[in-house]
């Protein structure tokens, strides 16, 4: 969990605008704000913009998401800001993800009326994934999540390949950017829009990543080693971001 959060935090540019969800995405964004990206602006779906988070919020509507913020506004304003093309990153997750970065957080099973599992649904994930420039995904890595075809597209990735987002009317140049797991960091091939392994975490093999994926992964050359968290990152994460171990205490 610490590896995922630290790897994700390094992907946020200083000065970027980031729409943040609860859990690991919030931890990664807080860590970035306190270390490598102090000028980043965090935004929360319920209306908090630019807070300096004192503690880990328990939801996107937690009062902490407004603490010393630039604005205490509404969901409508946040989504309009995304629609205007002003938001660089959004952190998303889901129960399933496929080779084109489509996310499912709606249901497991083919019958929409009587699924095997009914999931929470979109919330703002569809809007954010459709309108923000780059989608970042943090998720554990196993074959149940990384499936050849998602049971339901809650949030569009590259849909079925090159040009599909644009054909569907979504802003050109937007889409999935990186997928950060407990095994590796994946990106997407520029031409085919398929998921590709870009770096492996320490002591993880490429075979191990592929064995935990339900579709064939591409591999970017040269394949890199994900930087391990340094002492300062871990100190800030453990002592300032999540001292109660709400997130990093999860197995």
pLDDT tens digit sequence for 56-110: 898 888 999 999 999 999 999 999 999 999 999 999 988 999 999 999 999 999 8
152: nearest Cα among 95, 195, 89: 95
Distance CA 194, CA 98 (A): 9
Mention the CATH class of domain 2-241. Answer: alpha beta
Q: Are 129 and 155 in contact (CB under 8 A)?
A: yes
19 has which bridge partners?
A: 43, 90
What mean pLDDT is predicted for residues 173-186? 97
Residue 53 predicted with pLDDT over 70: yes
Residue 239 is predicted with a pLDDT of 95
Distance CA 28, CA 136 (A): 11
Is 45 tagged catalytic? yes
Q: Are 41 and 49 in contact (CB under 8 A)?
A: yes
5: nearest Cα among 34, 28, 32: 28
Structure tokens at 182: 């407990």
Sign of the C-alpha dihedral, residues 93, 97, 101, 106? Answer: negative
| Active-site residue (options: 2, 45, 80, 208) | 45
Report the predicted TM-score, pTM, of the whole model to 2 decimal places: 0.94
């Amino acid at each position: 969990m610490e590896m995922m959060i630290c790897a994700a935090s390094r992907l946020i540019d200083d000065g970027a605008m980031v729409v943040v969800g609860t859990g690991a995405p919030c931890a990664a964004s807080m860590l970035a704000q306190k270390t490598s990206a102090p000028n980043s602006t965090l935004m929360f779906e319920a209306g908090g913009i630019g807070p300096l988070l004192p503690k880990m919020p328990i939801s996107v509507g937690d009062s902490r998401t407004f603490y010393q913020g630039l604005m205490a506004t509404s969901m409508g304003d946040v989504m309009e800001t995304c629609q205007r093309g002003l938001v660089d990153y959004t952190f998303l997750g889901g129960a399933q993800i496929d080779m084109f970065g489509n996310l499912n957080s709606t249901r497991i099973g083919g019958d929409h009326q009587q699924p095997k599992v009914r999931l929470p649904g979109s919330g703002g994930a569809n809007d954010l994934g459709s309108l923000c420039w780059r989608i970042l995904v943090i998720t554990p890595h196993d074959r149940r999540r990384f499936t050849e075809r998602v049971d339901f597209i809650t949030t569009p990735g590259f849909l079925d390949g090159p040009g599909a987002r644009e054909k569907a009317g979504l802003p050109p140049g937007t889409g999935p950017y990186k997928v950060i797991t407990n095994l590796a960091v994946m990106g997407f091939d520029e031409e085919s829009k398929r998921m590709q392994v870009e770096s492996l975490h320490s002591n993880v093999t490429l075979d191990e990543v592929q064995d935990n994926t339900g579709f064939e992964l591409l591999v970017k050359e040269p394949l890199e080693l994900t930087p391990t968290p340094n002492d300062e990152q871990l100190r800030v994460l453990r002592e300032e971001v999540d001292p109660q171990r709400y997130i990093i205490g999860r197995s």
